[in-house]
Amino acid sequence: MLLMNNSDGGALCNSSSGGGQGNGTDGTEVNKFLVPMLDGLILVTGLAGHCLVISILAGRRRRGGMPPHGTDTLLLALSAADLLLLLCLPFHTTAIALGSWPFGSFLCKAVSFLGVACSSASVFTLAALAVTRYLTVVHPTWSYRSRMHSRLKLTVALLWVPATALAAPQFAFRMVAVSSVFHCFAFLGGLSQLVYSTALFLFAFAIPLGVIVMMYAKIYCFLRQKRLLGHAPQLERYQSQVTHTSALLVLVFTLCWLPSYGLMFSLLGGKISSIPSYRCIAIFVRLLASSAAVVNPVLYMFMSNKFRRDLMDLGRERWEGCRRCIVGCKGVVGGRDMVQPFNPVELDTPPLPLPGF
């Protein structure tokens, strides 16, 4: 996703297929079949995962009758940003498969803007989650007295301000360029593109990653100190869980986004696109960046014991509802279609006397 929005505005579309300009049949076949298949898998998996997350988080509030926890608010915001990001995927998939941009100038600007804004907002939300967890674990009293969780809705709204600012140049300057076909090209060149790419790297990757690493490191040190002091022996298991989870979060975050930024800066140098294996590299890097919207619910929700319990509760509720519906339908159908024998006792009036009696 980042490769399509932030680097050359369609590196796969223009360099892989190039509108049929001399890259060979193999690249065209990859663009027409492999990329749509992988993107379809990402889209279906992501939509299912995020819809499930939203259903469970909404169910918590419905069952508890209370406002959602602050972490739940951030997780809802994360799912919303990732869902919007996934909605951009079919446009890029179509452009790659066709080798051109068929949606016009406005959608070129709008989809590029939405892709950068949503990916940035998603990353900012991950950093906000790390800060919230740090304050909740290390400074619970301050967190409670300051009513931090009640202010997270405002925090979520404010996170979209820098995300929108980072994406604004996409809508302002991106354009559809015409050669033999239409392409949604990169809107800047030279020094301007370098400055913009550097700003994206710093504010949408490096700084949020630094915040995430620092917050989880502080949580780990705090839990380790408490455990060594013997304040709570059960913290050892929790410390181990936090260590494994935070290490996995940082690793996956880096693996999903760092290759995309690396390729972005390599393309600015103008040499990597001439490498024979560039097409495969670009497809793989784009796949990693797109899959970031899928792995977020897996890491932040499915690894949670509370979430898994809520998932089981939701499954039981759905099963009970389906079972009652099936039983009710069977009763209606059985009562309607079954031929009942005549029983005069069931009539309101006494039966007529038979002749001769």
The 3-class secondary structure across 215-266, one letter per residue, is HHHHHHHHHHHHHHCCCCCCHHHHHHHHHHHHHHHHHHHHHHHHHHHHHHHH
Specify the pLDDT at position 118: 95
pTM score, whole prediction: 0.79
User: What does the alpha-carbon distance between residue 99 and residue 93 come to, in Å, rounded to a whole number?
Assistant: 10
Q: How deeply is 161 buried, as exposed, middle or buried, from its count of CB atoms within 10 A (0-12, 13-18, 19+)?
A: exposed
The CATH architecture to which 2-332 belongs is: Up-down Bundle (1.20)
pLDDT value of position 86 = 94
pLDDT at 355: 42
Domain boundaries, the chain: 2-332
pLDDT at position 205:
95
Average pLDDT per 10 consecutive residues for the chain, totaling 357 residues: 45 41 55 88 92 82 60 88 93 88 89 94 92 86 74 90 94 74 67 89 95 91 78 63 77 91 84 74 89 83 74 76 72 49 45 41
Measured distance between the N- and C-terminal CA atoms of the chain, rounded to whole angstroms = 92
CB 152 within 8 A of CB 136: no
Strands 182-185 and 175-178 come out as antiparallel
Residue 57 confidence (pLDDT): 82
